[in-house]
C-alpha cells in the first residue's frame, strides 16, 4: 500500500472518531429496575380428581395390569421357543414356532397397549376440559397412571426386541 493511500485511509478513519458527542444510553439503573418486587402468591394446590375420573383411571390401570400378567405368562413359552430356535435356519420349523410364539406374546400385551392409549386419550380430553372450564384437576392422577402403563409397555417392548434379536433374521 502506498503511503498516500495509507495516509488517506488513516485520515478518513480518524474523522469518524472526531464527530460531535452523541448521547449514548446510560448504564445506570433505571427507576423501574430499582422498584420493590411484589411478592407473588404460590399457585393453588391441584384439585383432586373426581370419583368418576378416579374410577376410569383405576379401570385402565387394571387393564394394563391384566395385560402385563398375560404378557408374563406368554413370555416363558416364547422364551423357550426362541431358545430352541436360536441356532436354526430362517424358515425352519423351530424358527417359525418361535416367530409364532413372539406373535402370541405381542398379542398378549394388547391390554397394556390399549390401556396406555386410553390413558393418553383421557389425558388430552381432561386438558381440553380444564382449558374450557368444564373440569378441574385430575391431570396428576392420569399422568401417574399413564407413566406406570408406559413403563410396562416399554419393558414389554424391550423383552420382545431381545427375543427377536436372538433369532436369525431373514
Output 46 or 149, whichever has higher pLDDT: 149
**What is the residue range of 123's domain?**
51-166
Does residue 71 lie within any of the structural domains? Answer: yes
Does residue 162 lie within any of the structural domains? Answer: yes
Examine the pLDDT at 19 and tell me if it is beyond 70: no
Q: Label residue 48 by pLDDT band (50, 70, 90).
A: low
Closest to 128 in 3D by CA, of 115, 117, 138, 118: 138
Does residue 115 lie within any of the structural domains? Answer: yes
How much is the pLDDT for 11? 77
How much is the pLDDT for 28? 82
How much is the pLDDT for 5? 85
How far is it, in rounded angstroms, from Cα 37 to Cα 55? 45
Output 88 or 117, whichever has higher pLDDT: 117
Examine the pLDDT at 108 and tell me if it is beyond 90: yes
How much is the pLDDT for 83? 93
Examine the pLDDT at 47 and tell me if it is beyond 60: no
Residues 160 and 105: beta-carbon distance below 8 Å: yes
Does residue 138 lie within any of the structural domains? Answer: yes
What pTM was computed for the model? 0.67
Does residue 128 lie within any of the structural domains? Answer: yes
Does residue 2 lie within any of the structural domains? Answer: no
Q: How many domains does the chain have?
A: 1
Percent of the chain with pLDDT over 70: 91
Residues 150-168 pLDDT 10s: 999 999 999 999 999 999 8
Does residue 93 lie within any of the structural domains? Answer: yes
Range among 21-30, 83-92, 126-135, 140-149 rated most confident: 140-149
Does residue 40 lie within any of the structural domains? Answer: no
Computed over every residue of the chain, the mean pLDDT equals 87
Average pLDDT for residues 116-141, to the nearest whole number?
A: 93
Amino acid at each position: 500500500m502506498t503511503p498516500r493511500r495509507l495516509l488517506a485511509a488513516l485520515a478518513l478513519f480518524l474523522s469518524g472518531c472526531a464527530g460531535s458527542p452523541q448521547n449514548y444510553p446510560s448504564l445506570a439503573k433505571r427507576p423501574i429496575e430499582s422498584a420493590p418486587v411484589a411478592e407473588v402468591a404460590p399457585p393453588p394446590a391441584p384439585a383432586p380428581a373426581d370419583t368418576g375420573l378416579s374410577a376410569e383411571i383405576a379401570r385402565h390401570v387394571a387393564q394394563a395390569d391384566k395385560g402385563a400378567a398375560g404378557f408374563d405368562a406368554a413370555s416363558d413359552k416364547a422364551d423357550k421357543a426362541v431358545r430352541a430356535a436360536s441356532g436354526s435356519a430362517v424358515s425352519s420349523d423351530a424358527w417359525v414356532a418361535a416367530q409364532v410364539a413372539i406373535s402370541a406374546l405381542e398379542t398378549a400385551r394388547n391390554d397394556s397397549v390399549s390401556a396406555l392409549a386410553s390413558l393418553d386419550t383421557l389425558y388430552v380430553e381432561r386438558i381440553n376440559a380444564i382449558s374450557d372450564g368444564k373440569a378441574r384437576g385430575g391431570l396428576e392422577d392420569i399422568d401417574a397412571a399413564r407413566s406406570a402403563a408406559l413403563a410396562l409397555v416399554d419393558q414389554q417392548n424391550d423383552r420382545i426386541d431381545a427375543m427377536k434379536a436372538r433369532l436369525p433374521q431373514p
